[in-house]
């Protein structure tokens, strides 16, 4: 009879150890999936922003006419009534709705790095940074995660810059 109680107790301890391992593995899997969704979302938004030209006073240059830095929230980019929707000229990606709270927390950051010396209204080089933020389900409170990518946008393209 004591052997049965010892076996049941050992089985209980093993089950408790495995259940905590299962929870940790499940949280890690969710974290990795969210990171993959964030990287896909950032790449997708970046591809659309790289299409926007700053040659000949197009929309992005007019948008940054006097400001050297500007943040645009994702909720403004993907809102059809907002004029910022020209930065993303397609339907919103599915990963935007998959990441918890990413539409409300994420943004696009623009910074003018170089202006034309003869006409300061003309922008020659812009830093564009996509910042994806989402809330992670973990044991800690306020576990906000972030993923970002950045690129430069040049007035006459990268090929002209490298010459």
Task: Name the pLDDT band for 150 (thresholds 50, 70, 90).
Answer: very high
pTM over 0.85: no
pLDDT tens sequence across 9-46? 787 877 777 676 677 777 788 888 888 999 999 998 88
Q: Where are the domains of the chain?
A: 2-162
pLDDT for residue 147 = 92
Q: Rounded distance, CA 125 to CA 51, Å?
A: 15
pLDDT for residue 20 = 67
Task: Write the burial class of residue 115 (CB in 10 Å: 0-12 exposed, 13-18 middle, 19+ buried).
Answer: middle
Q: How far is CA 92 from CA 26, 64, 74, in A?
A: 28, 24, 10
Half-sphere exposure of 49 (CA within 13 A, CB side): 26
How far apart, in Å, do the first and last CA atoms of the chain sit? 86
pLDDT tens sequence across 77-105? 887 777 666 677 777 887 788 887 888 88
């Amino acid at each position: 009879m004591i052997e049965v109680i010892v076996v049941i107790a050992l089985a209980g301890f093993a089950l408790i150890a495995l259940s905590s391992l299962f929870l940790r593995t499940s949280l890690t899997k969710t974290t990795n999936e969210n990171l993959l969704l964030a990287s896909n979302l950032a790449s997708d938004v970046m591809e659309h922003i790289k299409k926007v030209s700053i040659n000949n006073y197009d929309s992005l240059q007019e948008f940054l006419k006097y400001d050297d830095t500007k943040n645009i929230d994702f909720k403004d980019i993907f809102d059809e009534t907002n004029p910022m929707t020209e930065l993303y000229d397609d339907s919103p990606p599915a990963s935007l709705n998959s990441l918890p709270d990413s539409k409300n927390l994420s943004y696009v950051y623009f910074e003018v790095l170089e202006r034309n010396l003869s006409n300061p209204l003309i922008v020659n080089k812009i830093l564009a940074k996509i910042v994806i933020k989402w809330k992670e389900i973990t044991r800690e409170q306020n576990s906000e995660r972030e993923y970002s990518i950045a690129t430069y946008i040049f007035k006459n393209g990268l090929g002209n810059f490298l010459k």
